[in-house]
Chains A and B, each alone.
Chain A
C-alpha cells in the first residue's frame, strides 16, 4: 500500500507545480490582454501625434505626444550618460582583475545599488538638484535616470563579459597585446550583442520608471526645447490621466498605458532579436 501513497503524492505535487507554472503564464497573458482590450478602443492617430490641447484633461482633444517624446528624451539621455560609466566599469571588472577582493566588493556594491528602489533614486535626484540649484527639468530627470540605469546596465554588461571563453583573452595576450588592446579589440567585439542587450534593458527600465522622474522631471504639456525645461513622461501621463474624474480622460490613460506597454515590450523583444541575430558572429 505504501508505494501507492507516494505515487499519489507525486501526481498531486506535479499537478500543483504545473498549475503554478501556468498561473505565471496566465497572469502575464491576463495583464497584456486587459491592457489591450481597454486601450485599443481609445487609441487613435491623434493620441500619438498631438500634444494636449486646451481642456485636454477635461476630455477635449489632443494626444500624449508630449509624454511619448518626453519619455524617449529622458530614457535616451539617461541611457547615453549611463553607458559612459557602465561600460568602463564592467570592462574593468573582467579585464583588469588583479585584486579579487576589490572586484568582489565592487560587485557587491553594484548589487546593492541595483536593489535600491527607484523612489529612493528619485529622492536622491531631488537632493542633487537642490544642491545644483536646478528646477524640475529634463536635465534633472536625465541625471536621475542615469543613476538608476547605471547599476542595471553595469551588472548586465558584467554578466556577458564574464561569460566569454577564458582562453580568448589568453590567446590575445600570447600574441603580445596589452590588456587594453585585448579589452577593446577582442573582448568588446566578442560581446557586442550582449552589450546592446544590456543597453536596451536599461533603456526599457528607464522608460517605464515613474517614481524617479516624478520628483525630478516635472510634467508639462509641451515638448521641451531645452534641457532646463520640465518634461512629461508616459508613466506619469498614465498616472495623472487616471487620477482625473472624467471617463474620457481615463480612457486615454488606458490608451497611454497601451502605448507604454507596446514600447517596453517592443524594446524587450528587439533586444532578444538583436542578441539572437548578432550572436552568430561571436566565437562560442
Chain B
C-alpha cells in the first residue's frame, strides 16, 4: 500500500511540472488579453467622440462653432442652423427639474441617513430601483395623462396673479405642453440618482462627528445643519450635478410633454425644444436635406460635451469622497 502511494507520487512529479507551466502560460495569455479588454471602455469613449466629430465636421466648416451656439434661426432648408433656442430650452427644462427634485431628494437622503429606522432604508432601495427602471416612454405617457392637464388646468390659473410681477409665470401657451411639464417629469426621473448618491455620501460621514455634536446638546436638525451638511456639502453638490447631467440627456419623456416649438422661452409655461428632442424628432428627414445630418450630429456632440463636463466633475468629486477609508 505505502509502496504504491510512493510510486504514484514519483510518477506525477514531472506531470505536475508540466501542468504548472501550462497553467502559468494560460494565466499570462489571459492577463494580456484582459489588458486589451480593459482598454475597451477608454477606446469606446474616444471612438464615440471621434465618430460624432467626423459626422458633424461639415457643418463646422460652413458655420463657426460660436455661430452655431449663438445663432437663433433654425431653417434647415435654407442651411441656417442656430442651436441657441435648443440649448436654452434644454437648460430651462433642466433647471426646472432641479428646482423640484433637489430639495425633495436632499431632504429624503437626510431623513434616510439621520432619522429613519432600518425599515425605511430597506423600503427605499426597491422604490428607487423601480423609479430608475421605469422606461422613459412610460414617464412620458404619465406626463401626458397627469402632468400636462395639471399644468393646463391648475398651475396656469394658480400663477396668473403672479404673472404681472414675474414674467417667468406669464402664460401665452393654451396647452399644458410646457417647460413646467417637462421639468416635473424629469424631476421624478432624476430622483433615484440624486437620492441614492446623496445617501451614500451621507453614510461616509464618521458617526463620531454626529455623536460629538449630539453630546453637546444639539437637536438632530442642528447636527445636520452645523455638522452633517457642511462636511458632506461637496458630495451632495456632486450628486446634484450628476442628476443634472442625467436630466440634460433625457429624451423621450421630455420630448412627449415639452411641446417642441422652436423658440426662446421666456416663461415656464412656454413650450421649448430641448436638444435631445431635436435629434430624436428629425432623424427621419436628416438624410434628405444637405448638412442637416451633420447639424444633428453636431447637436449630439454639443449635448455630449455638456454632459461630459458635468459628469466628469461629479464623478471625480464623488470618487474622492466615496473611496476614502472611513
A contact set with B: CB distance below 8 Å? 6-7, 9-10, 13-14, 16-21, 23-25, 27-28, 30-31, 34-35, 38, 85, 88-89, 91-93, 96, 102-113, 115-124, 126-128, 147, 150-151, 154, 178-181, 204-205, 207-211, 214-215, 235, 238-239, 242, 253-254, 257, 260-261, 264-265, 267-268, 272
| B165 adjacent to chain A (CB < 8 Å) | no
Q: Is the interface of A mostly helix, strand, loop or mixed?
A: helix
In contact, A96 and B31 (Cβ under 8 angstroms): yes
Taking A105-B42, A214-B280 as contacts, is the C-beta distance between A261 and B307 under 8 angstroms? no
The segment from B6-14, B47-55, B66-74 found at the interface with A is B47-55
Taking A21-B111, A235-B137 as contacts, is the C-beta distance between A88 and B26 under 8 angstroms? no
CA distance A93 to B128 in the complex (A): 27
A119 contacts which of B133, B188, B249 (Cβ < 8 Å)? B249
In contact, A28 and B245 (Cβ under 8 angstroms): no
CB-defined contacts of B316 to chain A, threshold 8 Å? 108
**When A and B form their complex, which 6 residue pairs have the shortest distance between CB atoms, in order from nearest?**
A117-B249, A208-B135, A17-B111, A115-B311, A20-B107, A92-B34
CB-defined contacts of A23 to chain B, threshold 8 Å? 104, 108
B276 contacts which of A119, A124, A265 (Cβ < 8 Å)? A119
Name the residue in A19, A24, A102 with the highest tally of chain B Cβ atoms < 10 Å from its Cβ.
A24
21 interchain pairs (CB within 8 A)? A24-B191, A92-B34, A92-B37, A96-B31, A109-B45, A112-B315, A117-B304, A119-B249, A119-B276, A119-B303, A124-B48, A151-B41, A178-B24, A178-B26, A180-B27, A208-B137, A211-B136, A235-B136, A242-B256, A254-B145, A261-B134
In contact, B34 and A18 (Cβ under 8 angstroms): no
Shortest Cβ distance from B124 into chain A, in angstroms? 8
In contact, A257 and B297 (Cβ under 8 angstroms): no
In contact, A14 and B26 (Cβ under 8 angstroms): no
Taking A31-B142, A264-B133 as contacts, is the C-beta distance between A117 and B248 under 8 angstroms? yes
The B88-117 residues at the A interface (CB cut-off 8 A) are: 103-105, 107-108, 110-112, 115-116
In contact, B311 and A112 (Cβ under 8 angstroms): yes
In contact, A111 and B311 (Cβ under 8 angstroms): yes
* Complex: chain A residue closest to B139, CB-CB: A31
CA distance A113 to B44 in the complex (A): 8
B104 contacts which of A10, A20, A30, A109 (Cβ < 8 Å)? A20
CB-defined contacts of B127 to chain A, threshold 8 Å? 24-25, 28
* Complex: chain A residue closest to B318, CB-CB: A111
In contact, A92 and B38 (Cβ under 8 angstroms): yes
Taking A10-B220, A109-B45, A120-B303 as contacts, is the C-beta distance between A179 and B37 under 8 angstroms? no
A123 contacts which of B195, B246, B297 (Cβ < 8 Å)? B297
In contact, B51 and A264 (Cβ under 8 angstroms): no
CA distance A14 to B128 in the complex (A): 21
B contact set with A: CB distance below 8 Å? 23-24, 26-27, 30-31, 33-35, 37-42, 44-45, 48, 51-52, 54-55, 103-105, 107-108, 110-112, 115-116, 120, 123-124, 126-131, 133-142, 144-146, 188, 191, 195, 219-222, 224, 242, 245-246, 248-252, 256, 276, 279-280, 283, 296-297, 300, 303-304, 307-308, 311-312, 315-316, 319
User: Number of A-B pairs whose CB atoms are under 8 Å?
Assistant: 258
* Complex: chain B residue closest to A93, CB-CB: B38
CB-defined contacts of B141 to chain A, threshold 8 Å? 35, 38, 238, 242, 253-254, 257
Taking A112-B312, A178-B24, A210-B252 as contacts, is the C-beta distance between A272 and B126 under 8 angstroms? yes
Q: Is the interface of B mostly helix, strand, loop or mixed?
A: helix
CB-defined contacts of B48 to chain A, threshold 8 Å? 116, 120-121, 124
CA distance A147 to B48 in the complex (A): 10
* Complex: chain B residue closest to A237, CB-CB: B137
CA distance A76 to B39 in the complex (A): 25
CA distance A180 to B23 in the complex (A): 9
* Complex: chain B residue closest to A263, CB-CB: B135
CA distance A27 to B276 in the complex (A): 25
In contact, B41 and A113 (Cβ under 8 angstroms): yes
CA distance A121 to B52 in the complex (A): 10
Taking A124-B52, A264-B133 as contacts, is the C-beta distance between A115 and B219 under 8 angstroms? no
CA distance A252 to B54 in the complex (A): 41
In contact, A28 and B142 (Cβ under 8 angstroms): no
In contact, B142 and A34 (Cβ under 8 angstroms): yes
CB-defined contacts of A31 to chain B, threshold 8 Å? 134, 138-139, 142, 188
In contact, A17 and B108 (Cβ under 8 angstroms): yes
* Complex: chain B residue closest to A127, CB-CB: B51
Name the residue in A23, A104, A128, A205 with the highest tally of chain B Cβ atoms < 10 Å from its Cβ.
A23
A106 contacts which of B38, B133, B296 (Cβ < 8 Å)? B38
In contact, B138 and A120 (Cβ under 8 angstroms): no
B219 contacts which of A6, A113, A210 (Cβ < 8 Å)? A6
* Complex: chain A residue closest to B299, CB-CB: A123
CA distance A30 to B251 in the complex (A): 22
